[in-house]
Amino acid sequence: MAIRWPPRNRCLFLLFALLNSLACIVFMMLFFDAGKSGGLFESSAEGLSEGSDKNSRQLTGDNRMLSPARRQPVNRQNEKDSFRRKGPDAVLKGYQNFLGNKSVKFQCNQCAIVTSSGQLLGTGAGREIDSNDCVLRMNNAPTKGHEEDVGSRTTIRVVGHINFGRIFGDDPAFVEEIFVNASTKTDSVVIHWSYLTDIDTRPPKEYALAVKLAQTHPNVSFNMFTPQKMVYAEDLFLHETGLIRSRAKTWMSTGWYTFLLAMDSCKQINVYGMIWGDYCTEHPDKEVPYHYYGPAFKAECRYYHASETRLTGGHLFIMEKAVFGRWAYAHNIRFHYPLWPARKLRPDHSGLLTPFMLRYQAAQNRLFSKLAFWKLFFHFSGLFYPLVH
């Protein structure tokens, strides 16, 4: 006698069978594609190694990836040697003043890059920071009330254009603090354009604001990254990571542009309050605020992890820090509070196996790249999480 299942159980069984069959098909396609590409999670050290043939092709010969204006190899060491031969009156290529498009002259023997991280709280590093010839700060990170830990001097403040509009567009208190007050003002501002490279033809609204502030505050030098320098920053990101910024749906942080400025203009760079890439993994129980001036805002490690493990946009803080470690030897960069271990200061490019890179490699699997529905389905549903994330 045949078994007669209740209609509800029959539907559940059919649904289970359908999902199981679908899972098997997807599973086989994933591993079939992975087998062809050498494994789903295999290290891409060859593709990301410095000076590798693949990177050279990406920088110079792949017409699908770079426009003709961008097909120039990135060689930071040659730029550094050229800068050192020019002397203290060197004109910085890639930067210009907002008033009259004048060239920018800036050079320091010893520079401090002061991060906004809560790592600086309680360090008492302020006097050491102020002892550097030049002090570079980012966005609206304050000094007042935090002098003991972060110092009081500001030579240059590097600000992203979006933050520039938010900070100085409607808040006279910040204008007073950064551009007027003798004890807290900066000598110079340098604005980067985040993800924009066509500032000369399509200037954003923040451009007009910068010109207005430059005219009303002549004691502060207002400067910008040129369109060519913004293109260079993206090419450098491609060179270091093997990723095209726009395809990876990311944009570089203000820290990235501050490092570029410092490497162009400083003979020695001291970085204060920056953690290395896997610091949070090595210190899972340490809770540090993202900003030293806003302890209740967000936790640094949680924010870094959230930014690094999403594929939908934002900064790649962990990946950037891995790149900064590569630059340390060639550009005389030293990291303080915390002191970076020697193993994180590697000039070689042995592969950036950061959380984002692993997820991105999985997302570029043939199945996902051709069937966008499944890419979204797996990303948001969490099915087969270990395989695709």
- Tell me the DSSP string of 74-124: --HHHHHHHHHHH-TTPEEEEEEETTTT-EEE--EEEEEEE---GGGTT--
| Model confidence, pTM | 0.74
pLDDT tens readout for residues 165-221:
999 988 899 999 999 999 999 999 999 999 999 998 999 999 999 999 999 999 999
Q: Is residue 369 part of a domain?
A: no
Torsion of CA 350, 353, 356, 362, to 10 degrees: 110
For the record, the structure tokens of 236 come out as 């450098």
Q: How confident is the model at residue 93 (pLDDT cuts 50, 70, 90)?
A: confident
- Residue 150 is predicted with a pLDDT of 98
Any bridge partners for residue 221, and if so which?
Answer: 188
Mean pLDDT of 336-364: 78
Q: How confident is the model at residue 119 (pLDDT cuts 50, 70, 90)?
A: very high
For the record, the structure tokens of 365 come out as 């699997």
Report the Cα 388 to chain-centroid distance in Å. 24
Do 292 and 274 contact (CB within 8 A), yes or no? Answer: no
Q: Is residue 372 part of a domain?
A: no
- Residue 349 is predicted with a pLDDT of 59
Domain span at 333: 94-349
Torsion of CA 173, 260, 244, 81, to 10 degrees: 170
> What per-residue string of b and e applies to 191-224 under the rule 16 or more CB within 10 Å gives b?
bbbbebbebeeebbebbebbeebbeebeebbbbb
pLDDT of 355 above 90: no
% helix / strand / coil in the chain, to the nearest 5? 45, 15, 40
- Residue 32 is predicted with a pLDDT of 40
CA-CA distance, 204 to 162, in Å (whole number)?
9
User: 191: alpha, beta or left, given left = phi > 0 and alpha = psi -120 to 50?
Assistant: beta
CA-CA distance, 325 to 338, in Å (whole number)?
13
Give, in degrees to the nearest 5, the angle at Cα 41 between 39 and 46: 80
Half-sphere exposure of residue 306: CA atoms within 13 angstroms, side-chain side: 7
- Residue 224 is predicted with a pLDDT of 96
For the record, the structure tokens of 313 come out as 């946009």
Any bridge partners for residue 137, and if so which?
Answer: 157
Decide which of 295 and 283 is more confident. 283
Q: Which residues contact 202 (CB under 8 A, 6 or more apart)?
A: 196
- Residue 27 is predicted with a pLDDT of 53
CA-CA distance, 314 to 311, in Å (whole number)?
8
- Residue 320 is predicted with a pLDDT of 92
- Residue 242 is predicted with a pLDDT of 85
Percent residues over pLDDT 90 in the chain: 49
- Residue 11 is predicted with a pLDDT of 67
Domain count, the chain: 1
pLDDT of 105 above 90: no
- Residue 190 is predicted with a pLDDT of 97
Q: Is residue 279 part of a domain?
A: yes
pLDDT of 262 above 90: yes
Q: Is residue 88 part of a domain?
A: no
- Residue 48 is predicted with a pLDDT of 28
Q: Is residue 76 part of a domain?
A: no
CATH code of residue 306: 3.90.1480
For the record, the structure tokens of 9 come out as 């159980």
For the record, the structure tokens of 343 come out as 């193993």
Report the Cα 373 to chain-centroid distance in Å. 29
Across the chain, mean pLDDT equals 78
- Residue 327 is predicted with a pLDDT of 94
Q: How confident is the model at residue 307 (pLDDT cuts 50, 70, 90)?
A: confident
Give, in degrees to the nearest 5, the angle at Cα 149 between 145 and 150: 80
- Residue 279 is predicted with a pLDDT of 93
Q: Is residue 179 part of a domain?
A: yes
- Residue 341 is predicted with a pLDDT of 93
Any bridge partners for residue 222, and if so which?
Answer: 189
Q: Which residues contact 3 (CB under 8 A, 6 or more apart)?
A: none
pLDDT tens readout for residues 5-18:
455 566 676 776 67
Q: How confident is the model at residue 79 (pLDDT cuts 50, 70, 90)?
A: very low
Cβ-based burial of 357 (10 A; exposed 0-12, middle 13-18, buried ≥19): buried
Q: Is residue 147 part of a domain?
A: yes
- Residue 334 is predicted with a pLDDT of 97
Give, in degrees to the nearest 5, the angle at Cα 339 between 335 and 342: 85
- Residue 26 is predicted with a pLDDT of 59
- Residue 248 is predicted with a pLDDT of 82
- Residue 360 is predicted with a pLDDT of 73
Mean pLDDT of 217-226: 96
Q: Is residue 295 part of a domain?
A: yes
Do 203 and 165 contact (CB within 8 A), yes or no? Answer: no
Mean pLDDT of 360-381: 55
